[in-house]
A and B are shown apart, each in its own frame.
Chain A
Amino acid sequence: MRTLLVFALLSTPCFAGESEFHLKDAPGKGLVEANCSMCHSLDYIQMNSPILDRKGWEASVNKMIKAMGAPVAEGDVQNIVDYLASQYGK
C-alpha cells in the first residue's frame, strides 16, 4: 500500500469520533498532535495513562521514531516527552 502514502497524508485519515477526542491543554500539545496523529489517533496517549514515567514515555517516543519511522525533528523530541510525561505520566 506504499503508493497510497501521499493520498493518505493529504486526505487526513480520520475515523468517526476521533475528532472529538482532545488532549489536555498544556505547552507541547500542538507538537504532540502534529507528530503523533500522522499515524494514529491521539486516544492512544490517554489509553496508555497514567502508566509510564518520563523514561517510559521517552522509550515510546523513541520506538515511534526508530522502529516505526516517525519523522519527528530531533529538536522536538524533548518537548514531546515533556508534555507526555507531565500530562499523561505516572
Chain B
Amino acid sequence: MKSRREFLRVSAGGLVFAGAARWMEFANAAGDFGPASLPSGTLESAQLGSLPGKLPLIKKSFRPPNFETPVSYFREAFTPNNAFFVRYHLASIPQLDAAQWKLSIAGDSVEKPLELTYENLTKDFEIVEVPAVCMCSGNRRGLSQPHVPGVQWGHGAIGNAKWRGVRLRDVLNKAGLKKDTLEIVLGGADGAVLDKTPDFVKSLPVWKAMDENTLVAFAMNGERLPHWNGYPARIVVPGWTATYWMKHVTSISATAQPFKGFWMNPAYRIPKGKFPVIDRFISQESDTNTPITEMVVNSLITGPDNGKKIRQGEAVTVTGIAWDGGYGIAAVEVSEDEGKIWQTARLEADLGRYSWRQWSHRFTPTRPGRHTLLSRATNRAGATQTFELIFNPAGYHNNVVQRVEIEAT
C-alpha cells in the first residue's frame, strides 16, 4: 500500500514555547476506525495519523488533537506510550521544558505556598509507581443511542500504564493544608485560543487528592511522559476518569469553597442516582446531577476481530480486558449464544486493583455460520455491566455488554 508523508506546522502555542517548528506526520491508510455503530460522519472523517512521537492512531479531530488507540494495542497488559490515546479540549498546547517548568502549590487553604522545580519534584519526595487505567469519561460516547454531540469516541479512549511519580498527598503536606480544605484545584499549561474560553481547570475533593494512590506523575511505563500525555508532569487519579488527570500540571491550589468553573459544572456531569457508583463528590453535587467520578465496571473483547472468519471445530482464543474504579475484577463471563449461557473466563495476572485485568476464553464453534461473543465483567463491589444503555446527555459510563461477531466455515 502506498503511504504518504506530509510535514506541516503544528500549534502556535508549541512554536512560542519551543522556539522552533514542530512537525507531524500523517500516513493515510485504510483501517478499522471503530465500530460500525459510530456516526457515519465519524467513520468518514477518521483516518490513521501520527502526532510527533506517536504511532498511527485513529484521528478524531486535528485541533485540538484527539486521537484514539486501535483496539489491537489492548492485547498487551500495558499500553505502549507511543500508542496511548490523546485527548485535549483546548488547542493552545505549549511544548514544555522540564528545566523551566514549575509547579505552584498555593491557595487560601495552604499554610506555606510552595513552588517546585522538576528537580524538587523528582528528588524531594518518595517515588511510587501505580499501574492504572486512564480512560476518558467519554470513551464509547460514539456508541450512544441516540447519538450525543462531542468527540465521538469508539473503544479506544483508554489505556493502561504504570504511572511513576510522587504522592499528591506528600506534595500537599509539604505546603501544609488548613483544616478547612474542601477541594484541590488543578491547572495545566495548555489553554484556550480565545481569552473568553473557560480554561481547563478541575478540582478534586480533598479526600481523593489525599488518597495514597493519587499522584503527580512524571513517568509512564518506565519512560518520561510523552508530550501528548502531559509532559513533564500530570496528575494521576487511579479509579477516576481521566478528566481529573490534569496534563502539563503547573498549579495546585487548596480551597475551602467548591470550585466553580465550566469544566466542573455544567461539564462532566452525570444525572444523580442513575449509575451504581460508590465514590461521590459531595461538594459539587446539585439537586439533579453530580460530577463523574469513578469508572464503572466494564470489559472489552480484544480478539478475535469483529467479522473474523474461523474454522468450525477449531478452537480460537477469545481475549479481552476488564476494569473498574479500583474495587477489582471478581469475574469475567463470556457467552457464545446471545447471553443464554455464560461461562467463566480465565483471569490473567492481577497487576493491581487500578490496572485492567486481562482475560481469555477458549471458543470452539461446533456449527458453521455466524457466532456472537459477549463478555461481561463483575467487580468485587458486586457491580456488573448493563445490557441496555443508561442514557445520559454527555454519553458517559457506557458499559453496555459488547458484541463481537465471527463467522465459522
A4 to B199, CA, bound (A): 13
- Whether B194 and A50, one on each chain, are in contact in the complex, defined by CB atoms closer than 8 angstroms, is no
B contact residues around A43 at 8 Å (CB): 45, 59-62
- Whether A50 and B39, one on each chain, are in contact in the complex, defined by CB atoms closer than 8 angstroms, is yes
Near B by CB (< 8 A), chain A positions 30-63 give 38-41, 43-44, 46-52, 56, 60
Question: Chain A: which residue is nearest B7 at the CB level?
Answer: A16
Question: Chain B: which residue is nearest A69 at the CB level?
Answer: B196
Does residue B311 face the partner (Cβ distance < 8 Å to A)? Answer: no
Residue among A7, A16, A40, A70 making CB contact with B61, cutoff 8 Å: A40
Does residue B24 face the partner (Cβ distance < 8 Å to A)? Answer: yes
A contact residues around B63 at 8 Å (CB): 13-15, 18, 40-41
Residue among A11, A19, A41, A46 making CB contact with B15, cutoff 8 Å: A11
Near A by CB (< 8 A), chain B positions 54-100 give 59-65, 90-92, 94
- Whether A49 and B13, one on each chain, are in contact in the complex, defined by CB atoms closer than 8 angstroms, is no
- Whether B61 and A41, one on each chain, are in contact in the complex, defined by CB atoms closer than 8 angstroms, is yes
A contact residues, total (Cβ < 8 Å):
38
Does residue B396 face the partner (Cβ distance < 8 Å to A)? Answer: no
A88 to B152, CA, bound (A): 15
A11: min CB distance to chain B, Å? 4
- Whether B6 and A16, one on each chain, are in contact in the complex, defined by CB atoms closer than 8 angstroms, is yes
Question: Chain A: which residue is nearest B43 at the CB level?
Answer: A47
- Whether B61 and A47, one on each chain, are in contact in the complex, defined by CB atoms closer than 8 angstroms, is yes
Does residue A68 face the partner (Cβ distance < 8 Å to B)? Answer: yes
- Whether A18 and B62, one on each chain, are in contact in the complex, defined by CB atoms closer than 8 angstroms, is yes
Question: Chain A: which residue is nearest B38 at the CB level?
Answer: A47
Does residue A73 face the partner (Cβ distance < 8 Å to B)? Answer: no
Known contacts A5-B195, A52-B149, A70-B194; is A16 also within 8 Å of B26 by CB? yes
Near A by CB (< 8 A), chain B positions 184-241 give 189-199
Does residue B10 face the partner (Cβ distance < 8 Å to A)? Answer: yes
Does residue B125 face the partner (Cβ distance < 8 Å to A)? Answer: no
Residue among A19, A41, A49 making CB contact with B8, cutoff 8 Å: A19
A44 to B59, CA, bound (A): 11
A contact residues around B13 at 8 Å (CB): 1, 4, 8, 13
- Whether A41 and B62, one on each chain, are in contact in the complex, defined by CB atoms closer than 8 angstroms, is yes
A70 to B195, CA, bound (A): 10
Question: Chain A: which residue is nearest B46 at the CB level?
Answer: A47
Does residue A27 face the partner (Cβ distance < 8 Å to B)? Answer: no
A38 to B9, CA, bound (A): 16
Does residue B146 face the partner (Cβ distance < 8 Å to A)? Answer: yes
- Whether A48 and B194, one on each chain, are in contact in the complex, defined by CB atoms closer than 8 angstroms, is no
- Whether A17 and B26, one on each chain, are in contact in the complex, defined by CB atoms closer than 8 angstroms, is yes
Residue among A16, A18, A51, A67 making CB contact with B149, cutoff 8 Å: A51
Residue among B24, B47, B198 making CB contact with A15, cutoff 8 Å: B24
A52 to B191, CA, bound (A): 28
Does residue B49 face the partner (Cβ distance < 8 Å to A)? Answer: yes
Does residue B388 face the partner (Cβ distance < 8 Å to A)? Answer: no
A77: min CB distance to chain B, Å? 17
- Whether B9 and A48, one on each chain, are in contact in the complex, defined by CB atoms closer than 8 angstroms, is no
Residue among B11, B41, B191 making CB contact with A13, cutoff 8 Å: B11
Does residue B387 face the partner (Cβ distance < 8 Å to A)? Answer: no
Per-residue A-contact encoding for B175-188, CB less than 8 Å = 1, 0 else: 00000000000000
- Whether B61 and A17, one on each chain, are in contact in the complex, defined by CB atoms closer than 8 angstroms, is no
A70 to B196, CA, bound (A): 8
Question: Chain A: which residue is nearest B92 at the CB level?
Answer: A1
B18: min CB distance to chain A, Å? 13
A71 to B166, CA, bound (A): 42
Near A by CB (< 8 A), chain B positions 1-55 give 6-13, 15-16, 23-26, 39-42, 44-47, 49
List 12 other contacts, CB 8 Å, given A4-B16, A47-B45: A8-B11, A8-B92, A9-B193, A13-B11, A13-B63, A13-B193, A16-B25, A17-B59, A21-B62, A39-B90, A46-B45, A48-B152
6 contacts across the A-B interface (CB closer than 8 A):
A2-B195, A4-B12, A12-B12, A15-B11, A39-B193, A67-B198
Closest 4 CB pairs of A and B: A69-B196, A1-B191, A49-B41, A16-B24
